[in-house]
Amino acid sequence: MKQENLVIYVLSDSIGETGEQVAKAGISQFNIEDYEIRRFPFITEKSQIEEIMIEAKEEKAVIVFTMVVEDLRNLLIEAAGKANIPVIDIMTPIINSMGSAIGMSPRREPGLIRRLDEKYFKKVEAIEFAVKYDDGKDPRGLKKADIVLVGISRTSKTPLSMYLAHKNLKVANVPLVPEVNPPKELFEVNPKKIIGLTTNPLKLIEIRQERLKALGLKHEANYASMERILAEIDYAEKIMKKVNCPVIDVSCKAVEESASIILEIFKEIGYKFNNGVSKY
């Protein structure tokens, strides 16, 4: 037997996307070609429910809903029962089963999944930013960054940039090399969002020698010599003093520890991050 002219109302205290997708998935399992889905998002008042019930009864509609606010859910079920309208509660069975399984009570706040999605996309954006403006690739990113890291080679600039990106912060980093002048943009950004990274020369020799070994090069290369490293550190210190930024010694610190120190520095000086934009 074919069901013709089926009308499905999707009610939600958020945008109703979940309810609509579930309704479409359900209806696809039946031999119904002529149907209509109408979405009613952001239901927050009893009067809205009452008005929708009148229309639903006239159209002999089926109601699918994803109300997580308990008072509204109970109102809807009661009103639908009085009007003899079939209702399908999508969220409650899932929430109750999960609550029993994990031993927690639900928050019952509408729109949480959308907020989580927004957070995810901000993280992706921050990671893409860190990759794009890593190692001084494009100095134009310095003015867009929440945090700018500067330091000589092998002072954890890239790992720190990526770690902080996972906290939704846009980080650019600039290598300081004696033979290359820093980009002019470095001296144009707010110095309070710049962090200098330094390290112990002896520790740096070990790290650079391991790097050379991995590349199949000799340990005696200038890159890993004490004379070269001291020259680089001296040059970097002069640049850091010029921009007047805080300096962190990353010698014996894990990336997580260095990142925590950086965030604490910003907290102490009152530098705030607001949706990826740093400000005072």
Residue 68 in any domain: the answer is: yes
Instruction: Identify the pLDDT of residue 140.
Output: 92
Residue 1 in any domain: the answer is: no
Do 102 and 184 have their domain in common? no
Do 121 and 149 have their domain in common? yes
- In this structure, what CATH number is given to the domain that contains residue 225? 3.40.50
What is the tens place of the pLDDT at every residue in 226-262?
Answer: 999 999 999 999 999 999 999 999 998 999 999 999 9
Do 254 and 142 have their domain in common? yes
Which residue shows structure tokens 């890993």? 224
What is the tens place of the pLDDT at every residue in 104-113?
Answer: 887 777 666 6
DSSP 199: -
Do 238 and 163 have their domain in common? yes
Instruction: Identify the pLDDT of residue 209.
Output: 85
Residue 248 in any domain: the answer is: yes
Do 98 and 153 have their domain in common? no
- Residue 39 burial class via C-beta count within 10 angstroms: exposed 0-12, middle 13-18, buried 19 and up: middle
pLDDT: which is higher, 13 or 151: 151
Angular region, 134: left φ>0, alpha ψ -120 to 50, beta rest: beta
**Domain end marker among 110, 134, 158:** 110
Residue 168 in any domain: the answer is: yes
**Domain end marker among 110, 132, 150:** 110
Do 178 and 244 have their domain in common? yes
Residue 239 in any domain: the answer is: yes
Do 151 and 93 have their domain in common? no
Residue numbers belonging to the annotated binding site for ADP: 151-158
Do 105 and 150 have their domain in common? no
H-state helical runs in the chain? 17-27, 46-59, 70-82, 91-102, 112-132, 157-165, 201-214, 226-243, 255-268
Do 123 and 262 have their domain in common? yes
> Residue 226 is encoded by which pair of tokens?
């004490």
The CA distance from 273 to 275, in Å, is 6
Instruction: Identify the pLDDT of residue 116.
Output: 61
Ramachandran angles phi, psi of 38, nearest 5°: -120, 125
Domain total of the chain = 2
| Closest C-alpha to 13, from 110, 98, 112, 95 | 110
Do 97 and 153 have their domain in common? no
> Residue 79 is encoded by which pair of tokens?
């009103």
**Domain end marker among 49, 77, 110:** 110
Do 125 and 159 have their domain in common? yes
- Global pTM? 0.61
| Closest C-alpha to 135, from 118, 109, 110, 153 | 153
Residue 101 in any domain: the answer is: yes
Is the alpha carbon torsion for 26, 28, 29, 30 positive or negative? positive
pLDDT: which is higher, 150 or 14: 150
Domain that includes residue 208, residue range: 117-279
Q: Are strands 35-40 and 6-12 parallel, antiparallel or unpaired?
A: parallel
- In this structure, what CATH number is given to the domain that contains residue 64? 3.40.50.2300
Ramachandran angles phi, psi of 37, nearest 5°: -110, 125
Do 28 and 128 have their domain in common? no
Residue 105 in any domain: the answer is: yes
Q: How many CB atoms lie within 10 A of CB 166?
A: 12
| Closest C-alpha to 97, from 89, 245, 254, 52 | 89
Residue numbers belonging to the annotated binding site: 151-158
